Structure 1
């Protein structure tokens, strides 16, 4: 047996009194280089950095540790020094709702950053036989204002950090009992075998490609074989069509791509997805045809919400087939999920099936997505939190009042 002793830098100065939770660096969201920097701050000698990074990586991303004190193969002295400069933050579960079909929706609250307020996002787990899909948010609110989407009615508050994106995954896995040595925290409805969180879709609140750097770091960590360990073919990033970022998504992240298309004519898509005015359909589809790694084994998924009398005619279906010619693709037909105040209705079932038949006969898979979690507003397009953007003037007034109170 080899005894490993932590060697601190001989010139390492005593650490200052422990910083507050907000001031300490959260280990969740850091890549290996970031973890190495934290270890250096804790006084670990350079020759031990690589080994210690491996230990932290295992505890944070494989085991889902929530306290540095859990790291039993790290010496007590190093754990104490790490705790002075770093933390293992986790979101507060504000609420958990369980649908009659087993779908779960969590409202997660993340601490304030700087002088801002805590923020909340929704994350959804969809259990199916043989798989469990986690729908993850990338922003608090959204800037795109898609008229059929409930999330679009909530103004953008801020981007989530890579750590906050990963914390949704780790917190859901912990809640479900999908971490090594951890039992589910209640009688969760989960797949009968295999990983409970087997797939991740960046289809929650926000536009992932408007938070590219954080999403990239989070997904590269999630797909790392020594951590969360999900195959990139089991991770899907959905975008409303931020065309300039699509090539970078394929080159730098390499996950599966989904496009929120929803219309086959620019005049209709301009209304449903206002981003289309900047990046029209032809330009978007050109970017899809050039997506790095595109093949029959790595098809692009096109999401198409079925809106009564808006985009659901047989001629729309035929035009969709024409537009997608030459693109290895699958078309997900999504029955519209209603929400309070919406002006849209879901297409009749016969209309949806007729639309699907046209697409299927053209050789494209076009599954009709079964609505899940509608009763708890967890279905596609229904997510929205109560977080609102804090006005700068109100924030300054609060800071002034607090200073005067002191």
Structure 2
């Protein structure tokens, strides 16, 4: 698969990258660069928007409804570049994991999972690393490096669309139908950029993914939840995993700042939440920790009055993990209690475990592998 380095190539040429920019940013650049008035700048931005986000075009010379002189001017000042995919792994179940380099020593992972949602879901990252330190999540053992820009989030989507050959956007039989912000990082700690990226991804003249097929998962950054709903109309997922504060304080340490009662109040007041737009509660199944019948019944009580569905997630192991996955029999018993109470409670089939692409495993193996290779080189 051909790749372009999002950071190094434009910098080496002294050119700015247009891929990932918003309509407003494109219009501003056209006005500043070519001295266009506001109306002409918006028109030029609209043309570029279609070529970049609907057709996936990276070559200005192929943008045939733009004059030759303007195309030449664009190519002197700008590029439409993709990030460099430094590693691409395909699981036995068809899951694809991409390690994407954003700059020297700065990488994130995203994962495409086929046959999820309407057709297939892409799990994108919003930060390099994570600050939350959830004890069951390997990603949380990696220190936060920085927030991703909106363009870096959008370019994860575009790089995967290249690999899936999903251009032009919106065609029949599309394989990528859903976006989930469930990769590396806490999206609500980077809400400005996440919101801007959603605007780009959902624009119906570009990538054209419905906001109802975009889900943002949070571990419970309560003060930002209402703003997320108002600004993005995205579907909400809550990384819950416990029904009492004592246990959730241990599993999801942000609970010490925003406890379960505050979190549930924010869920009840989430803009647009209804039986047609239910909030998803994610619950990882940990053997002997949170998987008893009593806890299932407490979960039913906790969610009373919230339009909800519950994703039960078998724990995905990683080297040195302090937990084990609940038995399948125990998970099914837990799900049965939820189902009898009227809640949709699908058990999420683990996907991509063989390439460490499953929930809570992102980047761990690539980091470990590179560290091991570096040690070998030093020894040699």
Task: Name the residue aligned to 2:267.
Answer: 288
Equivalent residue for 2:53, pick from 61, 70, 78: 61
- Could you say which residue in structure 2 is the equivalent of 1:35? 26
CA contact (8 A) 1:38 1:85 kept: no
Give the C-alpha shift of residue 22 in structure 1: 7.7
- Structure 1 residue 49 and structure 2 residue 60: aligned? no
CA shift for structure 1 position 62: 1.1
Out of 86, 95, 103, which is 2:95 matched to? 103
- In structure 1, the residue matched to 2:377 is none
Find the residue that maps to 2:321 and give its secondary structure.
coil
**1:322-333 equivalences in 2 (<5 Å):** 322-333=301-312
Query: In structure 1, what is the Cα distance between the partners aligned to 2:76 and 2:106?
Result: 25
Deviation at 1:24, TM superposition (A): 3.6
CA 1:172 to 1:71, structure 2 compared with 1: closer, same or farther past 3 Å?
A: same
Q: Tell me, yes or no, if structure 1 residue 120 matches structure 2 residue 99.
A: no
* Cα deviation, residue 53, structure 1: 1.4
User: 2:74 aligned to 40, 61, 82, which one?
Assistant: 82
| 1:50 to partner: Cα distance | 2.4
Counterpart contact for 1:266–1:276, Cα < 8 Å: yes
Q: Shift in Å at residue 359 of structure 1?
A: 0.6
SS of 1:356's equivalent in the other structure is helix
* 1: CA distance, partners of 2:353 / 2:11: 40
SS of corresponding position for 1:42: helix
Whole-angstrom distance in 1 between the partners of 2:305 and 2:176:
33
Deviations 1:361-398 (A, max 9, x none): 1111000000000000001111025579xxxxxxxxxx
Deviation at 1:44, TM superposition (A): 4.7
What does the per-residue CA deviation read over 1:56-93, in whole Å, with 9 as the maximum and x for residues that have no partner?
11011111222333323222321232234332221111
Alpha-carbon separation, structure 1, partners of 2:140 and 2:335: 27
Match of 1:225 in 2: 204
Q: TM-score, normalised by structure 1?
A: 0.84
The structural deviation recorded for 1:26 is 2.2
Looking at structure 2, the residues matched to 153 and 80 of structure 1 have their Cα atoms a distance apart, in angstroms, of: 47
Unpaired segments ≥5 residues, structure 1:
1-18, 112-116, 184-192, 389-406
Determine whether 1:151 maps to 2:151.
no
Structure index of larger Rg = 1
Q: Cα RMSD over matched residues?
A: 1.9
1:238-269 Cα shifts (integer Å, max 9, x gaps): 00000000000000011100000000011111
Task: Report whether the alignment pairs 1:213 with 2:213.
Answer: no
- What secondary structure, in the 3-state scheme, does the structure 2 residue paired with 1:305 have? strand
Are 1:141 and 2:129 matched, yes or no? yes
Are residues 1:177 and 2:169 paired? no
Structure 2 residue matching 1:288: 3-state secondary structure = helix
SS of the residue corresponding to residue 323 of structure 2 reads: coil
Give unpaired runs (5+ residues) of structure 2: 1-9, 369-380
Distance 2:107 2:63 in 1: 29
Q: What are the Cα deviations for residues 142-190 of structure 1, in whole angstroms up to 9, with x where unaligned?
A: 0000110010011111111111101110110110111129x9xxxxxxx
Matched residues in 2 for 1:175 and 1:273: separation?
Answer: 35
